[in-house]
Amino acid sequence: MTKAVERYTAASKDREEVLSNPITGAHTVVLADDHQMLREGLRRLLASEFDIEVVAEAGTGNEVLDALRGHQTDVVVLDLSMPGVPGMDLIKRIRADFPSTKVLVLTMHTSDQFAVRAFRSGASGFLTKDSAADQLVHAIRKIAAGGAYVPAELAERMAVGLKDLDDAPAHQQLSNREFEVYRHIMAGKRLTDIAGELHLSIKTVSTHKSHIMEKLGVAGTASLVRYGLQHHLFEEHAAQAALLLEEAAAADMRSPLSP
């Protein structure tokens, strides 16, 4: 079966489900991503759907909260890497302040850890951006109807990872904030830059970095970056991380991550 036929079949099933269960008005959606072109693309993708209405867009965490205050929203399609409130914290905030609104994470992050942490924070669905064209509409409908959504291939990987919790890797011990700081480190950012983006003091970010290294059992930036590469944690930053590893090793651990 070709992808075009699969999409048509899925769309037909969605339409039958909606028509057999009439709703009052369309599912209302807020698109949250800091890239305007991506939001425009998503809006065009959803424009032809008879039961989905985009009521607002947002480019930062605070704009998401403002949009939800101004619009009754069924589903937020949420990127995890916007400026302002960190992604996992934002999911928790949305679920606490707007309990009737569901969160569908749409992200470039492919690591299973992001999906696990998103669901633990209160998300109802998780999609990577490269699968949006094929799966976004179905995911929104399913979540708006009270279900959950995760692509089959990701669900399988998550199930395998949860098979033996006693053998869970050390990075699962990291808090959401520590995991976010780790992501920025792997992207090659200085501690001062990380502090600015996360609205934290440099001392706090440095403390988080120390806790990360302690929990992972590594010493120094090179070992920290090597761990991330070996465990495929932040594959979207693999090129920057590999370069950073070379620089850190060549400079005898004097990486550009110091304040």
Domain boundaries, the chain: 3-160, 170-250
Predicted pLDDT of residue 164: 52
Predicted pLDDT of residue 18: 46
Predicted pLDDT of residue 213: 92
Q: In what order do the strands lie in the sheet with 27-32?
A: 52-58, 27-32, 75-78, 102-107, 125-128
Tell me how far CA of residue 247 lies from CA of 102, 171, 241, 244, 253, in angstroms. 43, 24, 10, 5, 8
Dihedral, CA of residue 181, residue 121, residue 74 and residue 67, to nearest 10: -40
pTM higher than 0.75, yes or no?
no
**Is CATH 1.10.10.10 correct for 170-250?**
yes
Distance CA 51, CA 37 (A): 23
Predicted pLDDT of residue 26: 87
Each of the 259 residues of the chain gets a pLDDT tens digit; together they read 454 444 444 544 554 444 434 444 689 999 999 999 999 999 999 999 999 999 999 999 999 999 999 999 999 999 988 887 888 899 999 999 999 999 999 988 877 778 888 998 999 999 988 888 889 999 999 999 999 998 887 777 666 555 554 566 788 888 888 988 998 898 888 899 988 888 889 999 999 999 999 988 888 888 888 888 888 787 777 777 777 777 766 664 454 444 4
Distance CA 52, CA 30 (A): 11
Predicted pLDDT of residue 230: 83
Predicted pLDDT of residue 240: 77
CATH of 3-160, one of 3.20.20.80, 3.90.1150.10, 3.40.50.360, 3.40.50.2300: 3.40.50.2300
Cβ neighbours for 56, distance < 8 A, ≥ 6 positions apart: 30, 31, 67, 70, 71, 73
Predicted pLDDT of residue 24: 46
